[in-house]
Structure 1
Amino acid sequence: MSAEATNPATPGPVTGAAARWRARIDLRRLGRAALLGPAARDRLPAAIGHVAEAHRAHHPDADLEPLRRAWVLAESSHRGQMRKSGEPYITHPLAVTLILAELGAETTTLTASLLHDTVEDTEVTLDQVGEEFGAEVRFLVDGVTKLEKVDYGAAAEPETFRKMLVATGNDVRVMSIKLADRLHNMRTLGVMRPEKQARIAKVTRDVLIPLAERLGVQALKTELEDLVFAILHPEEYEHTRELIVDNASREDDPLAEIAEEVRGVLREAGIQAEVVIRPRHFVSVHRTARKRGRRLRGADFGRLLVLVGEDADCYGVLGELHTCMTPVVSEFKDFIAVPKFNLYQSLHTAVARGDGQVVEVLIRTHQMHKVAEAGVVALGNPYVGSPEEPGAVDEERVDPTRPGWLSRLLDWQAAAPDADTFWSTLREDLAQDREITVFRPDGGTLGLPEGATCVDAAYAQYGEDAHACLGARVNGRLATLSTVLKDGDTVQLLMGQDPAAEPSKEWLEHAHTPAARIAIQRWIATHPTQESAERGTGGESGSFVPGAAAPEGVGGGVAKAGATEPVGVVDRGASQASAVVAGSAPGGSALPAADDKAAPARAALAEPASASAPDQQTPARPGTANALVDQPGATVRLAGCCTPVPPDEIIGFAVRGGVVTVHRVECAAVARMQGMGRKEVGVSWGDSAECRVTLFAESFGRPHLLADLTEAMAGEGAEIVSATVEPPSQQRVRHTYTVQLPDAALLPSLMRAMRNVAGVYDVSRAQTPGA
């Protein structure tokens, strides 16, 4: 745009598509055409003839009338304005429009491109643009119009980008115009002061180039990289230029030799294909030189591109190359079956020559190549106007080209509290240039940047409700919230039900995405007394406070003052539920449960009984479920290791003293009893349904968990005979309960009720000896 326009001199040579554009656009000729004024209304102005030619190459049936009218308005409104190079200002929107026409942009985008500076730099208003060209062109022009510094001060630039990104979320063509605008300004940056050149180049490097990469517009991205490279690293740029010039002067060209060999292989196989050499751009050569760590060989200065008609032909070409030439297996990548997040599709492979030189080969269809070069620009207009007003901008429409990264960016930018936070976070977010896909148990997917953790997945799926996240399962296994996710992982997030749940500060160490960091930071900022509340829990160094975050980031909810719930051994013989917390009080003294919510649990535990401790193996009392045995006079005892209840399939063994122990058939003790030669005794269930059973519960620690769990059990009619809560391990707590039920049929509903308690992720029957 105008503030960035200077002269047509570039910092160095331009290659590839940029060279073709430069050859076709003569700024002086455009300047003379602009000074001659608009053409007659019945014919296309000569000044935009080259734009029309490029446009018709991609869209033969395009209506050029909107372009003619846009040129007339743009030329007349910019007349008299000059660039710092001395050229008429109209040469800038013309050059930007030509760039987009070469990429294959449709007519609406080109119309908006010709007008993109009129509202910012002339007396033309958005309403005038809308009346003359429609709501869609108006939206695009508004999207790329800068905010005034007089209104926003130092925040004008970040707020302009915020506005532009929001507009891009509704229409990706906004960013297409901005990228082409920045490319032309970078080409003509030569007369700017060095410090201003550097500032513009850094913003281009940190924001515009990553956006071009994410939108798949490689033709713009590669030239922008070279122009930034020349400004910010002139010495390395000059060295790279010398390498390219020296290689071009070589008589032998290994790339040309291998290209001809590949053509021969494909001809013999009957595959119609176009094989071309694609020279690497400056930054690519520089990166290759640093990667190789040695002097570059001829094959390092370019790659072979094989273009075919159909997807299946791509794999046919791959098979022939790998059969007839020596493939470098480690270099193979299939971006056709699994496209990149920026729409890119291609097969990548490499073949080796006898002299050791390795040539990279790209295989794609012509359509894939078009998308690889132009990205979203090549997709044309993805929208359909409303039936009432064809072509109108529908504020509720969903852009089918809008990728997951853009949706995430739009989500977190709305929560950024100020321009500085937005600007710094945007640069960090765009620096994450790879994306992974993780799966949810319900069949949905989450797109996350590489390096994302379970914390990021929680906030991506649940927003600020993720404050209540207790933990996660990754590929079916319990995992800490700090676990780094890999592409293809399945993630099940375990959520609590407390609407006042609080995130842990330690989660910030594991939050990789802006959405997660901003949500956590915003909560912390709005709860300034949290730190003092943590000090009020009474937990000493090394003690465990249920709900407090472990170093690994497991579990949600920071314990509040007075809400600490100890865990340890709960004894029916005690006057109230109590527990010992290792290291939580001097001498390991018992601490009483501190919440009145435990009252139902204490009522359930009120009957006297023998104590049970984790390091003792006390057999459970015989249950009263009626087990009948085929041994007259025998005493029947239900085994405490598996606590069978009706209608479990059971087996009996005769032991000393005329006793028959009854086990579930799947109990681990059965094989041991059989191995010892114990006599098997026939057993069956009688009429009585009362039973005793031992259950294991596994949970994450949190305040009030023990009270909630025992209350739920009491609500199902279970009498708790004994309960053991083991010391926590990485915020996970294991509970063992022996309960008496008035009816064995209540067991399934009891286990369901226990699983429904927030923080409990598994409940199972005892199945091992010494439960």
Structure 2
Amino acid sequence: MPVPLDTPDRLASDLCELLETYLPAQQVKEVSCAYIFSAQAHEGQMRKTGEPYIVHPLAAAHILGQMHMDAQTLCAALLHDVIEDTKISKEKLVCEFGEPVAELVDGVSKLSSMQFETREQAQAASFRKMLLAMSRDIRVIIVKLADRLHNMRTLGAMKLASRRRIARETLEIYAPIAHRLGMNTVRIELEELSFAALYPMRYQVLAHHLKKVYRKRADIFRTLKTTISECLAQMDINAQVHRRDKHSYSLYYKMREKKGATSVDKRKTFSQVANLCALRIIVDTVDDCYRVLGVIHRLYKPICERFKDYIAIPKINGYQSLHTVLFSHHGLLIEIQIRTADMHELAEKGITAHGLYQLGKESDSKEDATNHLAHQRAREWLRGLLEMQKSASDSLEFLEHVKTDLFPEEVYVFTPKGKIMQLPKDATAIDFAYAIHSNVGNQCIAVKVDNQYVPLSTPLFSGQTVEVLTATWTRPNPSWLNFAVSARARSYIRHFLKNLQYDEAVRLGKRMLDKELAVYCLSVDKLSEEQRAQLLETFKVDSLDALLAEIGLGNRIAFIVAHQFDPTPEASVK
């Protein structure tokens, strides 16, 4: 729930009361000191809502307090704007609050010391900086999500153009990141607030119809809940059955999808996407999950193709549940999720559940297996981001790769040895090759799907077994970019092609310069170290390859470069 508007001191007092429920007194005192420091730094600054600026950091910290985050993260939330918006330096924060807190604050702060041609370039560069900081400490993005969530809650004070820009950025980047980290509660609120800001009329219409539908179906929900609860009690299964309300944006997203519509060119209607009752059943153990599934399938007729076992094969963010859709006796479909209490907490809180954001936390207990899976998936994603940023030519390209990588749906395929590989929806065989390793993708010559040769552009579906054949002499083809879907594959293909173009330019430049140097009985390979240094100094380049590439690309004339070695006194043309 949004933090109520009040005086900063009252909000700070409420925050401390919340923190005292789970933090030691000394750590609560440290957070209180961070509040005082931040309040003094932001003294006189006001938000567009008319409140003192310190209300915003307090609200962000309150959001994190509700997640039971640690004291360092809470201090960073209270201080997250002091480097960017005040004269306080990072070094000052290190002295006052220590290196970890200062690094968190710096990771969230935008780049302000560099000049950019456009707002998009500045945003992309700041985003790249934040993600690199996040790869060192994942708490950076948790602070940023709390910051963005409160900004979205108070977005109404902004101008229309700013509201739409911020809402679109939230919907394209921050809500998917929350989803990728399993922070479902944060993701849903970000999506709903963004949807309301971008399309206020559509949001109001959908929200109104949803309320009407739930009012009409209240009796059906009660009947279903009672029937299922009684059947589970008879089987001695301890279970909680809850109604699961759909959200406006999720329905809007499904209505815009063409998949499953009655016509190729026709999208789904509200009646089609809302024609179901959603329930969630929470039990004690994994065994109980499958026992409940059996009971439910005896009660109602299941739709086989709509059953998904995310316990055996978790989602890419570590999410686990059994999903099944059934026909009810009321003419409606029943959509049911079955999970344990631990799975439920992880599904709602993601990486913030059980303190999983704390790096280095390890446990061998079976009870923690699900939790550590989520942490492992988050770390794998961060490592993937690091690889992508190394091959991206600039921040804008990197941001596009990240957006592509934040897919809401996945397909699950197998290697010949039975390892499960997760790929984005609509991924092709070449995406699978690059998911194995960049060298496997670069050297891919053929692919077998279920032991049958298929083109590299073949889309993959869950359950298929894929084998990649490679050869050292082959290399990526530019046409692969026409059907590669994953950000990883597209990034590596582009990186290889850029290097390939550079290498070819170097070879061409060498041939052109050798031809001109032959007049002086020289060649590139025969140049002495002194002669090479002379060329680098004369033409202001860092390496001989860079000079050859400029010649090959037509940016320099080989004759003029070779003319530097003309022994006649007049030969000094640059």
**TM-score, normalised with respect to structure 2:** 0.75
Shift of 1:322: 2.1
Q: Tell me how far apart the structure 2 counterparts of residues 295 and 494 of structure 1 sit (CA, whole Å).
A: 46
Post-superposition CA distance 1:114-139 (Å, at most 9, x none): 22222222233222333333333232
Shift of 1:527: 4.9
Which of 94, 103, 112 is the equivalent residue of 1:139? 103
Alignment partner of 1:510 is 2:488? no
Q: Tell me how far apart the structure 1 counterparts of residues 405 and 437 of structure 2 sit (CA, whole Å).
A: 20
Describe the shift of the 1:66–1:31 C-alpha distance in structure 2 as closer, same or farther (beyond 3 A): closer
Alignment partner of 1:382 is 2:348? no
Structure 2 counterpart of 1:229, one-letter code: F
Aligned position for 2:219: 253
Alignment partner of 1:279 is 2:245? yes
Alignment partner of 1:125 is 2:79? no
Post-superposition CA distance 1:274-333 (Å, at most 9, x none): 222222222234456678956649985862222222222222222222223444444322
Alignment partner of 1:148 is 2:126? no
Describe the shift of the 1:509–1:493 C-alpha distance in structure 2 as closer, same or farther (beyond 3 A): same
RMSD between superposed Cα atoms in Å: 3.3
Aligned position for 1:717: none
Decide whether the 8 Å contact of 2:276 with 2:335 is kept in 1: no
Q: How does 1:44-55 map to 2 (within 5 A)?
A: 46-52=13-19
Structure 1: 5+ residue runs without aligned partners?
Answer: 1-20, 35-44, 386-398, 533-771
Alignment partner of 1:31 is 2:27? no
Structure 2 counterpart of 1:89, one-letter code: Y
Shift of 1:441: 5.3
- Secondary structure of the 1:402 match is helix
Post-superposition CA distance 1:672-694 (Å, at most 9, x none): xxxxxxxxxxxxxxxxxxxxxxx
Aligned position for 2:156: 190
Aligned position for 2:337: 362
Q: Tell me how far apart the structure 1 counterparts of residues 269 and 445 of structure 2 sit (CA, whole Å).
A: 51
- Of Structure 1 and Structure 2, the greater strand share is in 1
Q: Tell me how far apart the structure 1 counterparts of residues 64 and 358 of structure 2 sit (CA, whole Å).
A: 16
Shift of 1:147: 1.0
Structure 2: 5+ residue runs without aligned partners?
Answer: 262-267, 362-374, 506-574
Post-superposition CA distance 1:212-238 (Å, at most 9, x none): 111111101111111111122222112
Structure 2 counterpart of 1:75, one-letter code: A
Shift of 1:525: 3.9
Residue identity over aligned pairs, in percent, reads 36
Q: How does 1:577-616 map to 2 (within 5 A)?
A: none
- Secondary structure of the 2:157 match is coil
Decide whether the 8 Å contact of 1:253 with 1:298 is kept in 2: no
Decide whether the 8 Å contact of 2:449 with 2:466 is kept in 1: yes
Aligned position for 1:224: 190
Q: Tell me how far apart the structure 2 counterparts of residues 194 and 414 of structure 1 sit (CA, whole Å).
A: 36
Post-superposition CA distance 1:64-102 (Å, at most 9, x none): 233223222222222322111111111111211222222
Decide whether the 8 Å contact of 2:277 with 2:333 is kept in 1: no
Describe the shift of the 1:442–1:330 C-alpha distance in structure 2 as closer, same or farther (beyond 3 A): closer
Specify the structure having the higher radius of gyration (Cα).
1
Q: Tell me how far apart the structure 2 counterparts of residues 208 and 48 of structure 1 sit (CA, whole Å).
A: 25
Post-superposition CA distance 1:160-192 (Å, at most 9, x none): 111112222232222111112111111111121
- Of Structure 1 and Structure 2, the greater helix share is in 2
Aligned position for 2:278: 303
Q: Tell me how far apart the structure 1 counterparts of residues 377 and 308 of structure 2 sit (CA, whole Å).
A: 24
Alignment partner of 1:161 is 2:127? yes
Aligned position for 1:206: 172
Q: Tell me how far apart the structure 2 counterparts of residues 343 and 242 of structure 1 sit (CA, whole Å).
A: 34
Describe the shift of the 1:453–1:139 C-alpha distance in structure 2 as closer, same or farther (beyond 3 A): same
Q: Tell me how far apart the structure 2 counterparts of residues 269 and 468 of structure 1 sit (CA, whole Å).
A: 56
Alignment partner of 1:371 is 2:338? no
Q: Tell me how far apart the structure 1 counterparts of residues 282 and 252 of structure 2 sit (CA, whole Å).
A: 26
Q: Tell me how far apart the structure 1 counterparts of residues 342 and 26 of structure 2 sit (CA, whole Å).
A: 20
Describe the shift of the 1:180–1:300 C-alpha distance in structure 2 as closer, same or farther (beyond 3 A): farther
Describe the shift of the 1:26–1:252 C-alpha distance in structure 2 as closer, same or farther (beyond 3 A): closer
Decide whether the 8 Å contact of 2:401 with 2:491 is kept in 1: no
Shift of 1:338: 1.4
Describe the shift of the 1:172–1:285 C-alpha distance in structure 2 as closer, same or farther (beyond 3 A): same
Which of 367, 388, 392 is the equivalent residue of 1:412? 388
Post-superposition CA distance 1:567-587 (Å, at most 9, x none): xxxxxxxxxxxxxxxxxxxxx
Shift of 1:528: 4.9
Alignment partner of 1:333 is 2:308? yes
Q: Tell me how far apart the structure 2 counterparts of residues 296 and 510 of structure 1 sit (CA, whole Å).
A: 34
Q: How does 1:617-696 map to 2 (within 5 A)?
A: none
- Secondary structure of the 2:334 match is strand
Post-superposition CA distance 1:43-80 (Å, at most 9, x none): xx624235426x62xx6899423322322222222232
Aligned position for 1:558: none
Describe the shift of the 1:483–1:232 C-alpha distance in structure 2 as closer, same or farther (beyond 3 A): same
Decide whether the 8 Å contact of 2:16 with 2:28 is kept in 1: no
Alignment length (residue pairs): 482
Aligned position for 1:449: 424
Q: Tell me how far apart the structure 1 counterparts of residues 490 and 255 of structure 2 sit (CA, whole Å).
A: 37
Decide whether the 8 Å contact of 1:382 with 1:400 is kept in 2: no
